[in-house]
Amino acid sequence: MSKKLVNSADRPWPSSDRVRIERAETLSDNWGRLTKYSIAYRRSDGVTEQQSREVYDRGNGAAILLYNKQRRTIILTRQFRLPALLNGDPDGMLLEAPAGLLDADDPVTAIRREAEEETGYRIEHVEEVLASIMSPGSVTERLHLFVGEYTAADRVSAGGGHASEGEDIEVIEVTLDQALAMIERREIVDAKTIMLVYHAKLKALI
């Protein structure tokens, strides 16, 4: 695609007392948008310098830890992640908490939708516990992290995601203690999942 340049006069970019965005150049606009920004940044010593940053915008997302108090279990998913494979994971098959992009929905609506699509559990009550920027050096995404209690009666389908969207998701139920041990053994390496599992332990959810 052709690169698109936007100058500060063409758009009211966000700014602060130390940063002024002067130009933006779209490098790619496919699934997400990769933009190269030219900014004026005032350093802590008072000197203003020109800097260049590339930023990837794929929208905001949400993730949820489904937990069962009586069984002391949680629901995880396993699916293929190409970036993990490219960065040294043996097979790219990651254990994760159910998650997805918000698209046009609010975080609560989105995470209830994603939980049902991926795991088959229809959860009525969810609680947001964190909202994190996961990779602030290069990605704009803010991830809303939820917890929600499930029972066997809440399962309305087998889950697995949408094959039409390339999803092939395995649903896995483990105890919280098993999940903690998997983190220690580096079998769970996904950041959002680690955060949610430790949250469950810290807050004694189960």
Predicted TM-score of the model (pTM): 0.92
Asked whether the predicted pLDDT for residue 84 surpasses 60, the reply is: yes
Q: What is the mean pLDDT of residues 178-191?
A: 98
Show the domains of the chain with their CATH numbers: 4-57 (no CATH), 61-202 (3.90.79.10)
40-61 mean pLDDT: 97
Dihedral pair phi/psi, residue 184, rounded to 5°: -60, -35
Cα angle, residue 169 at apex, residues 168 and 171 outer, rounded to 5°: 155
